[in-house]
Amino acid sequence: MTETATITPITPTEHIARPTTIRRETQGQRMRRLRDEKGLRQGYIADRSGITQAHLSRIENDESGVTKNTLRKIAEAMGVSYDDLYVPRDGKEAEGPRVVDIDDVLESDARRSRPVMSA
């Protein structure tokens, strides 16, 4: 007795790959990509922006956040606009350290350190 194979037709959408989650570029990834595209070394960017090479490396590896002021200096040292370098964060699901405005940090610290006055 011979066996017969049953062929199941594929519906038109079964062969289409399922959409994958697109991961946005982190701040560090963008910084490294732009620096590599320009053929610049970390040491050069660090010297021109007034930070250590170790700090720049931590930013590029998303191990350290960066202030907007420092990001502006890095952008200038790289010869790119701040807007081209800056990666805005989208809520809590965003990856990598955030870019902070130093004035916001100082204001937050000041609010926490205000003495409580009792009557």
The confidence score (pLDDT) of residue 91 equals: 56
The mean per-residue pLDDT over the stretch 78-106 comes to 72
Percentage of the chain lying above the pLDDT 70 cut: 55
Confidence of residue 24 (pLDDT cuts 50, 70, 90): confident
Query: Is the predicted pLDDT of residue 14 greater than 60, yes or no?
Result: no
The mean per-residue pLDDT over the stretch 34-39 comes to 97
Query: Is the predicted pLDDT of residue 94 greater than 50, yes or no?
Result: no
pLDDT digits (tens, 9 = 90+) for 105-119: 566 566 666 555 555
Give one DSSP letter per residue of 8-52, joined into a string: PPPPTTTTSPPPPPPPPPPHHHHHHHHHHHHT--HHHHHHHHTS-
Question: Which domains are present in the chain?
Answer: 27-113 (1.10.260.40)
